[in-house]
Chain A
Amino acid sequence: MTFRTKLFVVFMLALLSSVALVAVGVTAVTRRAFQESNRTHSEALVAQFEREFERHKQDIVHRVQGVADAEATVRMAIDLSRPKADVSVYVNDARGVAGSHQLDFLDFVGDDGSIISSNESPARFGYKMDWLAQPQDWASRGAFLTKVDTQDGPALGLMSVSVVRVGDKNLYIFGGEHLGKDFLASLVLPSDMRALLYMNLDGSFQPTDLVDESGPVTDGERFAEFIEPERERPTERAFKIAWTPDAASAELFHVLPLLGRQGELLGALLIGSSAREVVRLERRIIWLAAGVATMGLLLGLLLSWWGAARVTRPVRKLAEGAREVSEGNWSARVEVRGPNEIAQLARAFNRMTEQLSEQRERLVQAERVAAWRELARRLAHELKNPLFPLETTVENLQRAKEQSPEQFEEVFRESTGILLSEIESLKKIVARFSDFAKMPQPEIGPVNLNDTVRGIVKLFESQFGAVGRPPITPELHLEEGLPAIQADEALLRRAIENLVLNAMDAMPAGGVLMLRTTHENGDVDLEVSDTGSGLTPEECDRLFTPYYTTKQHGTGLGLAIVQSVVSDHGGRISVESESGVGTSFHLHLPAKPPVRSPSAVAEEVSSNGE
């Protein structure tokens, strides 16, 4: 990953984190605000219900009192106060009176608590409501919630009691309104809220006891786990029901217990607020935030990319400069702008490359001098050997001419032979140097390295076991199926022969010469190892330097030629050596040598010419 990419990623991560933090913060604040609003709504509705409930109570008290004050009721009370009064004539009166006073429930109850007439349960005449006849100040009691027996079963009623007293006899008027779906329908609710009424009429929670303004609530059984605790301990509480996995389906309920005369739980009002609107608004905000964040991110992406590019441009130029330097362009320079750290680094880089270039020049100069010195030394050494016999022969000739003219002819014949021989040696020496200077351009063709190796080993076979010298055992580890490579076989053969000769020279006491070929991805590797005395690290470092040799009579050109051949094929050569163990040369040859530009070839030719 490039520095620019890393920088870009860092920018993006920072931007993402910021956006995420803002989004989470906004969402949390929004949600809290909505919850607060929802709670306020619920509380307002509960307050409304309590006001409505109180108003209903007052209204019911007035209506029941209206029944008590009616002339017909007073006449009934007077009639019933008489001894042996016939109550049966009034058995149907409650129905008509309840209708005219808009009461759902109405009972006329005699002094002993016996029901005279009942609107909600006309058939209950004669049965007693003893609690009604108990001494109590009903006038100040107001309306209260109670369970009322009706023909259809028990129901919740908001009831009031009025008493008409004639003489020592009371006529109780027990009337009120049914607390059910009609009552719920009278509550004015916002569109996203609803009111449910739980009527605690059975021994345990029954879904049918939970109604809304249209009747029993759908999925009423889902409320069981929340209603049961209310039944056990009536108190205001809140709970949430998620109707589906969709959060928008959730509904928050506020429970208001409805208690009877003696504090018993008779019912509960459940104010439900749908989370749909809140979730919808939340989602809208989230989508909006997501849109803004996406736009921000896109903008940030572009700015980050641009910023990263701008920040890393000098660094990239530095890297390019460093790469050029590494590729040998010592004159590479980096453009410097501004006073920042990168500019300082660029200046330092430029100074460094300048110094490196100067040092290289000096080094090249020194190496050139050293090479020339080495060449001079080698030439002197090489030329000195034949020069000495030449000098001696010429001196012998002179001496023979002066001292033994009779023998001169013989000496001359012998001397000219020696002179020719030595001159031939000198020519050979000169030819070798000349050959090195004029390495031919490779002529590329398919080469099977295994065949080449086998041919070379066969060529040297006689020398490995030559009489008078310790034997050398060749070991071939040639990989089967070695692919052919594009190479100049003659040059390769010459390079490998040099390596084999080197190895033989390294094993004067005999040993094992191992040649191993392997391949990978079409490229071919050749290892040439000996079991000679090995080389020192210093020797290894200089081994491929032209004219450097560790041998008494070497020219120092063999391995230089090998390196030149390998280099011409786009390969590489390395050496491993351990003192006392042996030396291994590793040649890596590509399947196909790189195409060399004409300019490179020309440059090389010109450099060789120098």
Chain B
Amino acid sequence: MRPTLFRRLAASSLAVAAVLAAPGPAKPARQPKYGGTLRVEIGAAVTSLDPAVESASAEEAAAKDDIASLLYPRRSSEGTYLGGVGSGPFRVAAWEPGRRVVLAANENFSEGRPFVDWVEIRMGRPARDRLLDVELDHADIAEIPPEEARRASERGVRVSVSLADELVALVFVPGRPIAEDRRAREALSYSIDRSAIVNFILQKQGEPAGGLLPQWSSGAAFLFPTAVSTAEARNLWSEIGGSQAIVLGYDAGDSLEQSIAERIAVDAREAGGSVHVVAVKSGAALASEDARFIRLRMASPNPRDALAQYLSTLGPIVGVSDPAPGTMPQQIYDAERAIVSTYRIVPLVWLPTAYGVGTRVRDWKTPGPGQGWPFADVWLEDAQ
């Protein structure tokens, strides 16, 4: 295997950048090494790489998207991958649905051969195991829950945290009696202490969300209040009467959703309301819940594209039919406001994506919204 000129140049420039970015006394730039297997662990379990096959969950869809970014050379603005499969930096060498995929470096990749020879992605790994594997150098790159990033970092793990690009929100189920009562939706929104969720549950990873788009994307997030309004909430709850409880469902396999749900229940109780928290099996059909969590990951840093993406999901729920807001900031804000003011969706927090990075990984750059995993650019310190 011989690296292309482009990759060599890129490797040189990355090494220079790493040296420049490193704190403390300047270290001599190191030459990237080729070879080795990059061990990656993710929580999602991808069962099919066929784009035509629909994913069972948003998490699987995101992982599938990330894997696809390694197999295709380019991606359109709409998110469609261009070029043939296998013409990207990697091609599939081994495939065990839901468990493991091994990618081999594409010697003929137009932008240069990746540094690593192989990428082994183990799927469906529990968060605790992923974190331990990174700590013990059994994995090179592992997705870790954002709320664990701080503790992991304190334990000496290299942690890479992206911009907050995943919205966690509550969605009221249309047709449920209490969900149809705007006062209840509004009261619940006023009751929630989003800052406490970010500071305590997320361990200061992420941002309180009042709108659908983060501040770094739309620049207008500050216009959507996130502070708790206990007095207003109490008034609304008292208007509704305490006999009815909002049944809030959370994914039984998602500890973060559970923690947030329990906090929301406490906040509602303190404000005079009543929220009953129930665990729902992942992907299960809505049964008795009045509201449940929704997690929306931005497919693009462009606010218009991200909002359009959200509307395609939320439109039927919130009753907004226009899937394509204008490009002007005001138009985007108005569209966002129109959705949020229905209180049918209650934004809670913005989550970043956190990765634990092994000690031998070099030139890792945290991917942004819409960007795939940059495995083609990393190299391993101990590669032969």
Contact = CB atoms under 8 A, between A and B. Distances in A.
A513 interface: no
Nearest to B266: A123
B378 to A, nearest CB: 30
Interface residues of B, number: 17
B201 A91 contact: yes
B135 interface: no
Which interface class (under 10, 10 to 19, 20 to 34, 35 or more) fits A?
10 to 19
A86 B203 CA distance: 10
B266 A127 contact: yes
A114 B196 CA distance: 12
Interface in A91-150: 91, 121-127
Considering residues A86, A124, A151, which has the most beta carbons from chain B within 10 angstroms of its beta carbon?
Answer: A124
Contacts of A121: 262, 266
A122 B262 contact: yes
Contact of B193 (A88, A122, A126, A151): A126
B266 A124 contact: yes
B244 interface: no
A89 B263 contact: no
B270 A127 contact: yes
B220 to A, nearest CB: 27
Nearest to A118: B266
Nearest to B267: A123
B57 interface: no
A125 B259 CA distance: 11
B265 A88 contact: no
Contact of A88 (B200, B262, B266, B270): B200
A125 B260 CA distance: 12
Contact of A89 (B150, B259, B266): B150
A528 B151 CA distance: 139
A123 B197 CA distance: 9
A contact patch SS: loop
A238 B259 CA distance: 45
B259 A122 contact: yes
A116 to B, nearest CB: 9
A121 B262 CA distance: 8
B204 A123 contact: no
Contacts of A151: 262, 265, 277
B265 A123 contact: yes
A86 B198 CA distance: 13
Contacts of B263: 123
B274 to A, nearest CB: 11
Interface string B198-230: 011101100000000000000000000000000
Contacts of B193: 126
Contacts of A126: 193, 196, 200
A151 B277 CA distance: 9
Contacts, number: 32
B340 to A, nearest CB: 24
Interface in A44-94: 86, 88-89, 91
Considering residues A122, A123, A127, which has the most beta carbons from chain B within 10 angstroms of its beta carbon?
Answer: A123
A356 B199 CA distance: 132
Contact of B203 (A88, A122, A123): A88
B contact patch SS: helix
A123 B200 CA distance: 9
Contacts of B266: 121, 123-124, 127
Contacts of B201: 91
Nearest to A91: B200
Nearest to A116: B200
B38 to A, nearest CB: 32
A89 B205 CA distance: 12
A88 B277 CA distance: 23
Contacts of A122: 259, 262
B204 A88 contact: yes
Given A123-B265, A123-B266, A127-B270, A88 B259 contact: no
Contacts of B270: 127
Interface string B57-98: 000000000000000000000000000000000000000000
Contacts of A91: 200-201, 203
A95 B225 CA distance: 32
Nearest to B197: A123
A361 B15 CA distance: 168
Interface in A429-479: none
Contacts of A124: 266
A123 B262 contact: yes
A368 to B, nearest CB: 120
Contacts of A127: 266, 270
Given A125-B196, A126-B193, A126-B196, A89 B262 contact: no
A86 B199 CA distance: 9
Contacts of B259: 122-123
A12 B247 CA distance: 77
Interface string B236-270: 00000000000000000000000100111110001
Nearest to B263: A123
Interface string A218-237: 00000000000000000000
Interface in B145-182: 150-151
Contacts of B277: 151
Nearest to B262: A123
Interface string B270-282: 1000000100000
B225 to A, nearest CB: 18
A126 B264 CA distance: 13
B45 to A, nearest CB: 27
A124 B263 CA distance: 7
A89 B151 CA distance: 8
Contacts of B265: 123, 151
Contacts of A88: 199-200, 203-204
Interface in A151-183: 151
Contacts of B204: 86, 88
A243 B42 CA distance: 60
A360 to B, nearest CB: 110
A123 B277 CA distance: 12
A345 B201 CA distance: 115
Interface in A274-317: none
A233 B227 CA distance: 45
A123 B262 CA distance: 6
A89 B258 CA distance: 19
Contacts of B199: 88
A125 B203 CA distance: 12
A97 to B, nearest CB: 16
A121 B266 CA distance: 9
Contacts of A125: 196, 200
Contacts of B200: 88, 91, 125-126
Contacts of B151: 89
A91 B200 CA distance: 6
A86 B200 CA distance: 10
Considering residues B193, B199, B266, which has the most beta carbons from chain A within 10 angstroms of its beta carbon?
Answer: B266
B302 to A, nearest CB: 33
Interface string B178-197: 00000000000000010010
A492 to B, nearest CB: 108
Nearest to B150: A89
Shortest beta-carbon contacts, A-B, top 6: A123-B262, A123-B263, A91-B200, A123-B266, A88-B199, A88-B200
Given A88-B200, A122-B262, A123-B262, 5 more contacts: A89-B151, A89-B203, A91-B200, A91-B203, A151-B262
26 contacts: A86-B204, A88-B199, A88-B200, A88-B203, A88-B204, A89-B150, A89-B151, A89-B203, A91-B200, A91-B201, A91-B203, A121-B266, A122-B259, A122-B262, A123-B259, A123-B263, A123-B264, A123-B265, A123-B266, A124-B266, A125-B200, A126-B193, A126-B196, A126-B200, A151-B262, A151-B265
Interface of A: 86, 88-89, 91, 121-127, 151
